[in-house]
Amino acid sequence: MILFVLVFNSCRSPFVNLPTYNNVHIDPYGAMITIRYKDNVNKSHTSVGELISVENDSIYVLTKEKSSYNNKYQESYKIITVNQKKASSYKVVFAHSEPNGVFLASGLLTLAHGFFILTSIPINVVIGALVMGEEKYLYSFTHRQVSVDDLFKFCRFPSGIPPNIDLKNLRLRPVKK
Amino acid sequence: MKTTYYLFLILSLLVFLNSCSTSSNIGFKNHYYTENELMYAQKKDTSLFLKAHDYYGNVFIFHKSWVIDTTERIVKGKGKLYTPERDLLSEGQLFVHIDSVALFETNMPVKKVDYLILPKTLLVMYNVAMAGFCLSVPKACFGSCPTFYTSETQNVFDTRAECFSNAISPSMEYEDIDDLFEKQSGCRNFSLTMKNEALETHMVNYLKLHALPVHKNEKVLHATDNKYYAIHREILSKNAKTQTENITESLRQRDETEWTSLADDKKLVTKEEIILTFPAETLANKKSGLKLTYRQTLLTTYMLYHAISYMGNEYSDILSSLERKKLNGANVYSKFSEVLGGIEVYVAQQSGDEIVWEHKGEFHETGPIAKNTQLCNFGNLPQNLENLVVKLVFTKGLWRFDEASLTEIRDEVKPVILEPEKVYKNGLEDLVGLNALHTDQNHLISLPGDEFILQYKLPCENENYQLFLAGKGYYLEYMRQHWLRDKNLWKLKKMFDNPAKWLNKETEVYKQYECQMEQDFYQSRIDQSVKKLLYSAN
C-alpha cells in the first residue's frame, strides 16, 4: 500500500502551477516549458519554468531555484535567457487534466481483492503510473509540433517584455494547496 | 494467468501507444495587433474569451460578453485585471483603451483530451469487478492456515507448506507433514519463516523438522502410509487421460502447469478418473510407487467458510459447544471428508481376460495453497510387466494435479526429528514461543500479521538431508461482519446431517463462482519478479 500511494503521489505533475484544461483560456500566466539548450561554452542544460517571452532571438524562462542558507531552504526566482539557436529541444505544457477521483478511488478497492492483490497491485501501480505519467502531457506540444516562432502565444508577455518591468519581481503561479 | 497477462499487456500497450501523442492543436489561441482584426474575429465567433496585453505588462481578461467601442476606442466587459506580476488588480466591469493594448489574444475553452479514458476505464472496471467478486464471495479471496517459507521465498504463492488446514477447533488438532522441497548440507543452521496471513488465530503445538539423510541422485518422499522412502528413478507416463482429454503434458513435471477439472454441473460429489500408463519393463520385480504432486481447489475453502457463515453470531458458541460435549469436530469434518474423499489410487491387474483394479492407497492433503508431493507405495511389481496402468479416482473439481510419475523405491528411511532451537517473533527472540513448541500442553499463538522465524540445527552425521515439516496444531477462523447476515442454523444442521445432500444442493451456487474462483486463483500465479510485493490482503 505504501508503494501504491508513493507511486500515485509521484505521478503528480511537476508542473503543478498550471491551470486545469478548462481554465486555461482565462489564465494570466505563461505555459510551463522544459527546454534543453547549450550555453556559450557548449555545455548542455535543461531548465524548467514559465515561458515569459520570446523575442530578439531569445527565449525567456522564469525558473525557481532552491538553495540552503544557514540550514534553511530558500526559494529564489531567476530568469534564464536561452538563445533560440542554442535550444536543442523543448516541451511546453499549458494545462493539466482534472484529477479523476473515480480512477484514484478504484485503486483503493485493491484492498478488497484478497489473494488477488498480488495481481492487482502490480497492475494498478504499472497502469496507474503510466496513465498518470501520460496525463501530465495531455495538454502539451514539443519543438517538433510547434515552432519557436509560435511559442510567443504561450508566453506571459506574448508581445515582448515591457520595458518598465523589473524581472526580479516576477513569480511563478502560486501552487494551490 | 493468461487472461490477467493479456489484460495487463493490452492496458500497457494502450498507454504506450499513446505515449508519444500530445495535444499539438494550439488553434484555441489567436493573436491580433489591431482592433479591426479583433472585430472580424469576434464576428466569426462571439463566444471568444479575450486577453488584452497592454504595453505595461498588465493583462485584462474579458469573459464572453466583451464589446469593442470604436467611438471611444475602448474594449469593455466583465473580467479581471492582473499586474505584470500577475497580482489581481481589479475584477468586475472593466475597460481598456485600445491604444494602450500591445496585443489582443482570443481564447476558446480547451476541449478535453481523453485518449486515456480506455485504459482508465478498464482498470476501474477490473478493480470494481474484482472487489465486488471478493466481497460477494470472500471465501474465495482470503487465505487460511499458517503458511511456511524458506529464506528465498516469501510470498503466498511460493508457500512451501501449509499446516493443519482442517483443524478449525482444538479437538480437530492433528499432525500434518509437508515436503519443504529443500535439500540441505548437514551441520548447518536452517531457518523457516511461518506467517499468519489470514484473519485467524493459529495455535501451534509443535513444528518439528524431519531431516531425511539423502544420497546423491536420490530423493526422499513422504508416502501415503506416513513413512518416508528413498527413490532414485522416475518414469514419466506414456499417456495420461481423463474421459474427455489427454493431459500427458500437464503432468510431466512440477511446474506452473496444473491440470484441474471443473466441478460437475449437477452434483458436486460426482467422481471422475485419470488413467495413467507407464512403461514398466525396467521396473519389473522391483519396488515402485506413484509420485504425485497435487493440491486442492477452493471447493473445501468454500465449504468451510459456508459452514462458519451459517453459524452466524453463534459461531463461537457452536464451536465451544462441540468442544464441551466432546462431540469431536473432526467427526463432523470426517463426514465431509468421506463424501468428497481423497485421490484413490488403483493399479490394473490382469485376471484372465478381465482387468481388475486393485486399490493401492489414497492421497489426501487439505489446502489450496501449497502443493504436496507424496508417494503411494505399490510394493513389488510383477515380472514380465510391459506397461503399468494406474487409475486415480477423485471428486470432480476438487483437486489440481501438477506431476505424476512412476518411481523406483529403494528403502524406507527414518527421519531425524529436530525441534527448533530458536524462535523469533516479528524480529525479536521469543523464548515463550520456543518453550510452547517444546512442551505438549502449550501452544505458540500466532495472530494475524505475525511472522515467526524458526531456527533449526541440522545434524552432522550425513552429508545431505532432505527436509520435511511436521506441524501440529489448530486455528480459529475469525467471523467476518458480512458473513453474519448469512446465518442459517437450519442449513447448518442440514449440512452437518447430510453433507452429500447439502453439497449437491449447493451445486448451482458453487458453479456460479467456480470459474471465476479457479480462473482468478490461477491468474494470480504471476511472474516472480512482481510477486515480491507484500501479501497484505488482511
pLDDT of res. B21: 47
> Which pLDDT tens digit goes with each residue over A112-134?
776 677 678 888 888 888 887 77
Worst-scoring range by mean pLDDT, B3-17, B312-326, B358-372? B3-17
Q: Do B22 and A159 make contact, defined as CB atoms within 8 angstroms?
A: no
**Angle between helix A101-108 and helix A117-135 axes, rounded to 10 deg:** 160
pLDDT of res. A2: 45
User: Which cell is B256 given?
Assistant: 506452473
A78: containing domain:
2-168
Rounded Cα–Cα distance for residues B260 and B397 (Å): 7
Residue (of B133, B180, B117) closest to B152 by Cα position: B180
Say yes or no to pLDDT of B538 above 60. Answer: no
Distance of alpha carbon B349 from its chain centroid, rounded?
41
> Which pLDDT tens digit goes with each residue over B112-155?
777 777 888 888 888 888 877 776 655 456 656 788 888 655 55
Residue A155 lies inside a defined structural domain of this protein: yes
What are the φ and ψ backbone dihedral angles of B151, each rounded to 5 degrees? -60, -35
User: Which residue carries 525567456 as its cell?
Assistant: A60
Q: Chain B, 27-66: which have a CB under 8 Å from a chain A CB?
A: 28-29, 31, 49, 51, 53, 55-57, 59, 61, 63
Say yes or no to pLDDT of B67 above 80. Answer: yes
Residue count of chain A: 177
> Which pLDDT tens digit goes with each residue over B323-344?
776 555 556 666 777 788 899 9
End-to-end CA distance of chain B: 23
Classify residue A57 as exposed, middle or buried by CB count within 10 Å of its CB (0-12, 13-18, 19+).
exposed
User: Which cell is A150 given?
Assistant: 509560435
The total of structural domains in chain A comes to: 1
Residue B326 has a CB neighbour count (10 Å cut-off) of: 7
Residue (of B409, B84, B374) closest to B229 by Cα position: B409
Domain extent listing, chain B:
2-23+113-136, 29-107, 138-530
Residue B162: strand pairing partners: B147
**Which of A26, A107, A121 is facing B61, going by the closest CB pair?**
A26
Say yes or no to pLDDT of B523 above 50. Answer: no
Rounded Cα–Cα distance for residues B52 and A97 (Å): 26
| Pairing assessment for the beta strands B464-477 and B451-457 based on DSSP bridges | unpaired
User: Which cell is B304 given?
Assistant: 468451510
CA distance, residue A66 to nearest chain B CA (Å): 20
CB pairs under 8 A between A and B: 201
ipTM over 0.90: no
Strand order in the sheet with B239-241: B239-241, B271-279, B387-395, B343-351, B354-363
Worst-scoring range by mean pLDDT, A97-111, B412-426, B519-533? B519-533
Query: Where residue B411 falls among pLDDT bands split at 50, 70, 90?
Result: confident
Residue (of B391, B366, B387) closest to B376 by Cα position: B391
Task: Reply yes or no on domain B29-107 having CATH 2.30.30.100.
Answer: yes
CA Rg value for chain A: 19
Query: Where residue B391 falls among pLDDT bands split at 50, 70, 90?
Result: very high
Q: Which of B122-136, B461-475, B476-490 has the highest mean pLDDT?
A: B461-475
Query: Where residue B522 falls among pLDDT bands split at 50, 70, 90?
Result: very low
User: Which residue carries 508581445 as its cell?
Assistant: A159
- Mean pLDDT estimate for chain B: 81
> Which pLDDT tens digit goes with each residue over B169-194?
888 888 888 888 888 888 999 999 99
Per-residue pLDDT of chain A (177 residues; tens, 9 = 90+): 444 444 444 444 445 678 888 888 888 999 999 999 988 888 899 999 999 999 888 999 999 887 666 667 777 888 999 998 889 999 999 888 777 777 777 777 777 776 677 678 888 888 888 887 777 777 888 888 888 888 898 999 998 999 888 888 888 888 765
Chain A residues lying within 8 Å of B61, measured CB to CB: 26, 28
